[in-house]
Structures are given as C-alpha cells and as structure tokens.
Amino acid sequence: MVDSLERPAPGPVRTSPFAVLRNAWRGLTSMRTALVLLFLLAVAALPGALLPQRSLNLNLVDQYFTDHPDLAPLMDRIGLFDVFAAPWFAAIYLMLMVSLIGCVLPRSVEHLRALRTPPVATPRNLGRLPHHATGPVDGTPDEVADRVRALLRGWRSAERTEERAGAGVREFSAEKGYLREAGNVLFHLAMVGLLVGFAAGKLYGYEGSVIIPVGNQFCNSGILGYDSFRAGLRVDGTELEPFCLRIDQFEASYRADGQAADYRAEIGYQTTSDLDEGSTAEWRPATLAVNAPLRVDGLRVYLMDHGYAPRFTVTFPDGQQRTGEIQWRVVDPSTLLSEGATKFERPGITDEEQRRTSQLAITGLFAPTSSGGDVVTSVFPALRDPEVAVDVLRGDLGLDDGRGQSIFQVDQRQIESGALQRVARANLVPGQEITLDDGTVIRFDGVNQWVGVQVSHDPGQDWVLVFAIAVLIGITLSLTIRRRRFWVRLQAADTEGRTVVELGGLARTDRAGYGEEFDRLRAELLGPEKKDG
Amino acid sequence: MLAQYSDWFYIAAVAVYVLAMVLHAYAQAAVRTRRPVLVGAGGTPADIPAAEEQPARAVGARAANMGVSVAVLGALLHLASIVARGLATERWPLGNMYEFISMITFAAVVTWLVMLRRVPAARSAAPWVLLPIVVLMTLGGTALYTAAGPVMPALRSYWLPVHVTAIAISSGLLIVSGVASILFLLRSGSGVPAAIAERMPTADVLDRVAYRVMIVAFPLYTFAVVAGAVWAEAAWGRFWGWDPKETVAFVAWVIYAAYLHARATAGWRTGRAAWINIAGLTTMIFNLFFINLVVAGLHSYAGVG
C-alpha cells in the first residue's frame, strides 16, 4: 500500500521488506492492537479458571480424563490443562509487552520533550475555548501581571509581550498536570518490570515440600530430601541454599465443633552462615504459624499441613525388635482420620527367598479421637482417644522390583498375586498388642505428629512487589491528574489604572471536570461578581 | 444478641432501599416527558403544558429528594448492620460471602450517594442503580446467609481488613460504573421504550458517571489485587498461583484495563467502551458467585454449605 502510487503497473504489488516491517510495527504498537491483545489475554486466561489445572490439582485433571476420555487428550494437546505454561498464552502476553514497549517508549521521549518546551502560545481568540472569561479589573497591567504570576505558581508558564494596536499586550500561557503522562509511562514500564520479575521467579525459583515428624530435622541440601519439588527452569537442584531446620513441637487447637482455631510449630533452624562456620550444635529458635512463615537467607519456610504418625514396635520370635514410625496421610481433614502403611523387614535374614516371605506391613486407619466400636472412625481432630484399625500383611512387599512405591500404601498387585497375605486384623489403642501365628508381637506404642513444610525460594518476588507498587502509583497518577492549560491576556483599559483581563482554559484529557478549578482561577483574577463576564 | 441486631438492621436497610427505589420511581412517573410539538409552530411549545405540569413536577422533585434522604437512612442502617456484625463476632466483618456482599452493596450505595453530589443530573438513574443492590442484598440475606461466627485460622491476619475491604469497596464502585454503562447503552440505543429511556439521565451524564467512578475503582481494585498477592505470599507460600479466584480477578483487571484503553481509542470511546465495562462487571459477578460456589480453590471461604 505504501508504494502503490509509484507502481501503477498491473501485477502483484511488491512492497519492500522494510515497509512490511514498519507497517507490522505500527500495527502492533497501535492502541487498537493493544485492545485486541488485552481481550485475547482475558479470554485465554479463562480456561485456567474453568478447567482443572495440573499446576493446582493433578487429581482433578486425572478425574477429567476419566470423565471425558475422548475430549481430554485433545484438550491436553493444546495445553488446556496447563494454560499458564502454554506457548499460546505466552505468545499473547509477550506480544502485549512488545506492543506496550513500542507504544510507551516513543511516548516517554515525547513527554520528556514536552517537559522542556514552554507551554503553547496564547490562542488569538480565547472566547472559543471551552472555558473562558473576560472583564476589566483595577490595577495597571504591571500590577495585574504580578497577581497572575503569583496565581500561576506551581504551573509551567511562559510570558510574552506583544505589540498590538500601539499598546503592549501581555500574554501568559500555563500548563499543569504533566504528572499524568509521567504516571502513564511509569505504569506501563512498571508492568514490564513486574513481568520480568515474575519470569525471574519462574526461572530461578523453586518450591519444595516435605513432611517432617516432630523431633526430626531436615536440611535443604538437594531435591531428594523433598517429597515433592517444583524447580524453576534454570534450577537443577544441585545448588540449593544450605539451611537446616528441626521441628521441636507442634500444637493445634480446635474449637468445640472440631474447626481448627490455630496451628503453630516451634522449630529450630541453622542458616547458611551457621552451617559454613560449622556451628551445628546451636539451633536458632523460631515459630511457624499460619500466615507467619520463617524468612531467612532468601528462603521462606511455611507450615502447610499436619497429621499423625503412629508408632509400632514389632518383636520377632527370635526376640529382635524393630520400631517403625512413619507419617500416615489425612483422609478426612475435618477429623484428621488418616490412612497409611508402616513397613518392616525382618532383621538378620540373609536368604533372599526367605526375606521375601517375611516382610511385614501394618496398614489401615488411624483415628485421633476414635468413635469406639468395631468400625473405627474419627470424631475429632485432636489427639484425645487415639485408635488404629489395622490389617497386618506378611509376605513380599515388592520393594525389590525397582518400581517406586507409595509410603502410604502397599502395592496392591502383591496382594492380588497372593505374594502378600493378611495375617491379622485388629483395633488397637496405645499399649495394646497382637500376636501373629508365628509368635511375632506387634505393639501400638503411641502417636507422633508430623508437619508438612514448604520451602520456597523466589529471587524475583521483591522486584515484583517494587514494580507492583510502581504500577499502583503510576495508574493513580495517570487516572486522577488532569492535564490542563490556562491562558491570560492583559491589555491596558481605556480608563487609566484599569486592565482588561481575558482568560481561557482547556482540559487536554478527558471530560472529568476542569470547570471548578477554572472558576476558582477566574474568581481570583476577576472577582466572584463578574461571573458572566 | 448483637448478631440479631445486625440481622435486623440488614433487613431494615433492604426495606428502606426498596422504599427509596419506589420514591424515585414515583418521582419519575410524576414528571411527564416533554410532548413533541409537531404542529402550531407559531407559539412556543413550552407555553401550553407548563401550567398543568408545574404541580406534578413539584411533587416529583419532592419525591426524588425524599428518595435520596431515604437512601441515606438506608445506608446508615446498613453501616449499623456491618458494625454490629463485627462487634458480635469480634473480628473484621468480612469472613464469608454474606458479609462480603453486605460490604459490596454498602460501598455501592455510598458511591452512588457521593456521585449524586458530584453529578446531580444523574439522580434519575436511582431506581436502576438501587435495583441490583437490592437484588444482591436479598440473595446475600437469604440463600447465602451465614450465622455470625469465627473464621478459620488462615483468615486471621491483618491483611483480611486490607485486602477484602479493598476488594469489596472496589467491587461496589465497579457495580455502579457498570450499571451506568448499561443505562448508557439503554439510553442511547433504541431497544427501550421511549417513556422509560427519556426519564433516565442523558447518555452523556451516564457515560460521565461510568468513567468518573471507574477512575477511582480501577486503582483501588489494582491495590486490592496487590494486597491479596502480598497476603498470599505469607499465607500460601507464593504471591501468585493462578488459583481460580486469582485467575478470574486477573481477567477482570485485564478487561477493565481494556476499558481504559478504549476510552483513549478513536471509535471506541463511548458505545464499545460501555460494552467492555459490562463485560468487566459480568466477570466480577461470575467471580463472586460461580468461582466462590462452584469451583473449588483456595478462596473457598463462602461459608455456604
């Protein structure tokens, strides 16, 4: 289109690559494109709220696959279950950012230039402006000019004297509200900064969660220490900030109806420098609570959840004892009814075959406050009346087949194949025991508590906060400040010692009222009684 | 005891708002629309109807003034209900959906009353602005009602008054702005009977109300989202995690940003901008009801079970 005038010849119109680029750039940075991209961004984000997302809840995504076996794989292929990591989502916001930069940079340059040029000269006919007034006032033009100068303090103003009809005419032009555009530019640049900070967090941050029984300690030494770990794109897990913590005590309090009132964990920790100095005997005390994480060395440690770990002691026929205490997972958050599997290997057995027939697993349910009766269920989340309902399984747990195994369950296939068999079933309160057919005694010793801890590292988040505050300041300035112009023309009146004053005002932005301020300025100069001047 | 008073104040506020609506509606019915004078070009058209319209207009003006005063009374009762709720539960009264809706509608009423002082010409929009407020309050007081009680530990933070109050107030403002945009489209379109449309404020006034409320609402809403992110960083271990509520709040923010851009784009300034504002309001309402009640997420504090 650009060159069409010079190329009247028929045939395909050839445009230079430069023109194509320039047009594409102009198109991308236009306000209309920004609008379209904003709409696209809004529409593209919606499936992230309406469809289950892997980043939030893997189980719900699996459920969706089960419910919609035909549709789900197709949806998955276009990333509908990972919307915020999808390339098309990134494409939209990156284009929006480019459009924003392309629009805002020239505007900032223009604004800087406007800051250095004096306000525009007084229009010839002030009566044509939306706000205007005129009238004679007492005082020579010089005296009135002083009053105008005082009035225009705080405005960017310029003063000119013009010879017209043989007399000196003084003109003042003033402009105010430059902060509006400054706020606008600040808002947009801060949005870019915010996105960069956000991206930095996604690249260099990580988040790991781990269950730690009370009395145990945990060190941030590698991914393997965690139960689950979400690494940033540039994090390989080899250089985590060294840090250790120990759970000393955990307390939860509940209201009478079982709703949680408060949780807190008393912990000790050792910082990177503590570990470097080798002072590993000392633990710094701290409290983890809801809404109150521990912040140290760029890491944040959160108390996420909690539960119980029943402790069992197995006394084998030969008199050897083994004690097992491992976390069971919560199945009902309101009563903390939990399930799990505590697994044992018989000590001192070297024969592979024999070893595989003598492994033990204690599986079942744990109730912190048992309902009593044959079917154990929990009626309250606190540890008032603990009881377990367990099956004891003996045989081959399948630990050697190379596949990972849940710590909360036994491998169901081992039961189906008959390799693992139930040898006892019982309800036990602390101190009670059962004896198996081969003389092995299993005792339910008591219960420990565990806490789920999340360790997070996000090097970008402080920057995100800084830019978010800049965004707020920018948007507030750019929406509330009005850019307006004000002109004054002074001319000596026919009577000696009087001056004819002409005023004009123009709001450069929206119609959100400049009238009141103009009226005030007019009243200052012309006096209130000359309202219709 | 106090909780009971809070409920009574709430019901009284709804009743009083309905009364204000009726008064405003009556005021408008009393004002006859200007009859188009097509023939008799000789005389000034105002001559003939002026005499008989005079008393009706006076009655109408009085009813409209009463409507405003009654709405102020309603707002005072509404405020009393919120304060009594806070005293009864000994916490900031924004712990469930009923209390949230109460705060949103209170903010909307106060916004409307403040707007009336700034743009008196908008007064004839009153019944239409009060209508969604009364509907929301009725829903809040019935289907979504939650008895006064304490909240879960996660909600016990000083960020609750900051974040949730800012969201509630900005939502109230956005409702008023959105309703003004709806009325703007009705007023400037042809789908509405002239008898109703002509009794509304002019399209220009409605457009101005929508924009002037928005320039307060948008920065406040932005602040509310930022405050929410700061709280989420302390409570949930990350400042932003695309929780459904966060996502839809982001969508609404983007739509309102588009509205402000449209205000600065030739050809989009009025009509299309109004549609965008309505899309924003729809998103906010969707976020309030659908996301709270249907979609499971971290923000599931509705207290409706």
Output the pLDDT for position B160: 93
Q: How far apart are CA A309 and CA A103, in angstroms?
A: 59
- Among B270, B287, B292, B255, which Cα is nearest to B205's? B270
B265 in helix, strand or coil? coil
> Tens digits of per-residue pLDDT, A389-441?
999 999 888 887 777 778 888 888 888 988 888 999 999 999 999 999 888 99
DSSP code per residue over A151-218: HTTTSEEEEEEEEETTEEEEEEEEEE-HHHHHHHHHHHHHHHHHHHHHHHHHHH-EEEEEEEETT-EE
For residue B289, count other CB atoms closer than 10 A to its CB. Answer: 15
Instruction: Provide the percentage of residues in chain B whose pLDDT is more than 70.
Output: 90
Query: How much is the average pLDDT of A60-66?
Result: 92
Show residues of chain A in contact with B295, CB under 8 Å. Answer: 49-50
For residue B36, count other CB atoms closer than 10 A to its CB. Answer: 6
Q: How far apart are CA B180 and CA A149, in angstroms?
A: 42
Q: Which two tokens stand for residue B183?
A: 């009325």
Q: How far apart are CA B186 and CA B277, in angstroms?
A: 14
> Tens digits of per-residue pLDDT, B218-244?
999 999 999 999 999 999 989 999 999
Output the pLDDT for position A3: 32
Query: Chain A closest CA to B61's CA: distance in Å?
Result: 26
Please say if the pLDDT value at position A186 is more than 90. yes
Query: DSSP code of B291?
Result: I
Query: How much is the average pLDDT of A264-292?
Result: 89
Instruction: Please give the backbone phi and psi of residue A146, each rounded to the nearest 5 degrees, phi first.
Output: -60, -40
Considering only the beta carbons, identify the residue of A32, A42, A454 that sits closest to B254: A42
Instruction: Provide the percentage of residues in chain A whose pLDDT is more than 70.
Output: 95
Instruction: Give the distance, in angstroms, between the CA of residue A449 and the centroid of all CA atoms in the same chain.
Output: 31
ipTM of the complex, rounded to two decimals: 0.89
- Among B154, B237, B231, B152, which Cα is nearest to A302's? B237
Q: What is the pTM of this model?
A: 0.88
Instruction: Provide the percentage of residues in chain A whose pLDDT is more than 90.
Output: 48
Considering only the beta carbons, identify the residue of B150, B215, B242 that sits closest to A479: B215
Show residues of chain A in contact with B154, CB under 8 Å. Answer: 290-291
Distances (CA, A) of B278 to A150, B182, B214: 46, 7, 12
Q: Which two tokens stand for residue A460?
A: 């970008």
Q: Which residues contact B76 (CB under 8 A, 6 or more apart)?
A: none
Q: A445 falls in which pLDDT band (50, 70, 90)?
A: very high
Q: Which two tokens stand for residue A409?
A: 């369950």
Show residues of chain A in contact with B233, CB under 8 Å. Answer: 300, 461
Instruction: Please give the backbone phi and psi of residue A248, each rounded to the nearest 5 degrees, phi first.
Output: -90, -35
Start-to-end C-alpha separation, chain A:
53
Instruction: Give the chain B residue whose CA is nearest to the CA of A455.
Output: B237
A215: left (phi over 0), alpha (psi -120 to 50) or beta: left
Q: A511 falls in which pLDDT band (50, 70, 90)?
A: low
Q: How far apart are CA A71 and CA A140, in angstroms?
A: 85
Distances (CA, A) of A453 to A47, A53, A89, A265: 30, 23, 32, 10
Query: How much is the average pLDDT of A149-155?
Result: 89
Query: How much is the average pLDDT of A40-46?
Result: 95
Query: Chain B closest CA to A106's CA: distance in Å?
Result: 17
Residue A178's Cβ-count burial label (10 Å; 0-12, 13-18, 19+) is middle
B160, B247, B255, B260: best to mutate for the A interface, most A CBs within 10 A: B247
Sheet-wide strand order for A260-270:
A217-219, A244-254, A260-270, A284-289
A/B interface, count of CB pairs below 8 Å: 122
The overall average pLDDT reported for chain A is 87
Q: B47 falls in which pLDDT band (50, 70, 90)?
A: very low
Show residues of chain A in contact with B261, CB under 8 Å. Answer: 31, 34-35, 38
Query: Chain B closest CA to A47's CA: distance in Å?
Result: 9
SS (H, E, C) A82-138: CHHHCHHHHHHHHHHHHHHHHHHHHHHHHHHHHHHCCCCCCCCCHHHCCEEEEEEEE
Output the pLDDT for position A161: 84
- Among B176, B261, B179, which Cα is nearest to A39's? B261
Q: B303 falls in which pLDDT band (50, 70, 90)?
A: low
Instruction: Give the chain A residue whose CA is nearest to the CA of B253.
Output: A42
Asked whether the beta carbons of B210 and B180 are under 8 A apart, the reply is yes
More confident residue, B224 or B290: B224
Please say if the pLDDT value at position B286 is more than 80. yes
A54, A290, A291: best to mutate for the B interface, most B CBs within 10 A: A291
Distances (CA, A) of A55 to A49, A515, B242, B269: 12, 53, 9, 39
